[in-house]
Amino acid sequence: MQTEEEILKIKKVKNTAVRTVVLRHLLSQEKAQSLKDIENALAYTDRSSIFRTLKTFEENKVIHSIEDGSGMTKYAVCAKGCNCDPKDLHHHFYCTNCDKTFCLFDVPIPKIQLPENFKLQQANMVVKGLCDNCNK
Amino acid sequence: MQTEEEILKIKKVKNTAVRTVVLRHLLSQEKAQSLKDIENALAYTDRSSIFRTLKTFEENKVIHSIEDGSGMTKYAVCAKGCNCDPKDLHHHFYCTNCDKTFCLFDVPIPKIQLPENFKLQQANMVVKGLCDNCNK
DNA sequence: CTTTTACTGCAACTCGATTGCAAAGATTAC
DNA sequence: GTAATCTTTGCAATCGAGTTGCAGTAAAAG
Ligand SMILES: [Mn+2]
Ligand SMILES: [Mn+2]
Ligand SMILES: [Zn+2]
Ligand SMILES: [Zn+2]
């Protein structure tokens, strides 16, 4: 596992106090985090600073965002080597019972047969259901 | 193609003036419509009435919703015979240039290998890129 | 016809997301 | 070093999609 400093250096994002704690928090969590999740976890950091940090991270491929339909965008740290290209795309799982969203890094998206002349750039693939913990 | 009346009858949704025009509008459009899209198209129908109509339609499987990451939920009429079960799931395409979202009815979701003990209920699969018209 | 239930329009409100601005901090120029 | 410049941060205000309470209207039931 890389440290926050290493990741930011690789992705060419300047290291600041807010960026370090936001990235550290994201790395420490198993499930994807919303802006509010992060705000709640970091009591002394302003929401707008976290918001702008997330934008910066996303622009620089430090993290990727997930629209899981819960009304709040979730964020997760990109895997090592990820460049957010089509080849790096993977599915996400949203548990409709416990509200947990996370990356299925092991479930890459299969080749999708798009209509003639369409170009794939990105994807937001969210599978919904019950996680193992809630499916009992 | 079924008429609005036929669809509502099959799905056991009572026919009303607002429901008819909303469904007619959705049927007339190639791309999935947001609440605002419908509001703009139906000058004399109140937003909240359209909103509640969409909720009713979705609960009764007349339409399904698509979270395409644009900030507005889009809605599309379900295909004939669709029951919104996992077997009826399909991908959606969002054009990052012209902002058009639509169903890829011909691209069903392949079997996704979920982790042990996970249960699939629904899915929101949005592929993003350029549509044929914008990819020139 | 009267009562009950469902639908609609309007206004107000919620809440996640976003922005303007000034202060604080970091970097570069001299 | 100091001054000028650029970047980051916190605060408050704002935006906008979505949602709700309520009263009036329409439809269904009795
Ligand atoms: Mn992911
Ligand atoms: Mn669809
Ligand atoms: Zn769960
Ligand atoms: Zn397009």
CATH code of the domain containing A13: 1.10.10.10
Give the distance (Å) from ligand 4 centre to CA of residue B20.
29
Q: Can you name the residues that pair with A126 across neighbouring β-strands?
A: A92, B124
Is residue B112 domain-resident? yes
Is residue A136 domain-resident? no
Give the number of other CB atoms < 10 A from CB of residue A63: 27
pTM for the full model? 0.93
Judge contact between B27 and B1, C-beta under 8 A: yes
- Average pLDDT estimate for B17-42: 97
> Going by DSSP bridges, is the β-strand pair B101-108/A74-77 parallel, antiparallel, or unpaired?
unpaired
Which residues of chain A have a CB within 8 Å of the CB of B115? 93, 104, 132
Is residue B39 domain-resident? yes
Sign of CA dihedral A66, A70, A72, A77: negative
Distance between CA A70 and CA A78 in Å, rounded? 21
- Average pLDDT estimate for B75-96: 94
Q: Point out the ligand nearest to the CA of residue B109.
A: 2
SS3 per-residue string spanning B68-84: CCCCCCEEEECCCCCCC
Give the distance (Å) from ligand 1 centre to CA of residue A133.
20
Distance between CA B52 and CA A24 in Å, rounded? 42
Is residue A134 domain-resident? no
Is residue B136 domain-resident? no
Judge contact between B91 and B104, C-beta under 8 A: yes
Name every residue in A having a CB less than 8 A away from some CB of B.
67-69, 91, 93, 96, 104, 107, 110, 112-132, 135
Distance between CA B83 and CA B96 in Å, rounded? 29
User: What confidence tens digit (pLDDT) does each residue in B94-126 have?
Assistant: 999 999 999 999 887 888 899 999 999 999 999
Is residue B100 domain-resident? yes
Does strand D come within 7 Å of the CB of A49? yes
Is residue B135 domain-resident? no
Q: What is residue A109's predicted lDDT score, i.e. its pLDDT? A: 84
How do the pLDDT tens digits run along chain A, 136 residues long?
A: 788 999 999 999 999 999 999 999 999 999 999 999 999 999 899 999 999 999 999 999 999 999 999 999 999 999 999 999 988 999 999 999 999 999 999 887 888 899 999 999 999 999 999 999 999 8
| B116 CB-contact burial (10 Å; exposed 0-12 / middle 13-18 / buried 19+) | exposed
Distance between CA A7 and CA A23 in Å, rounded? 9
**B68 CA to chain A: closest CA distance, Å?**
8
Residue ranges making up the domain that contains A117: 4-129
Domains in chain A, number: 1
Give the total residue count for chain A: 136
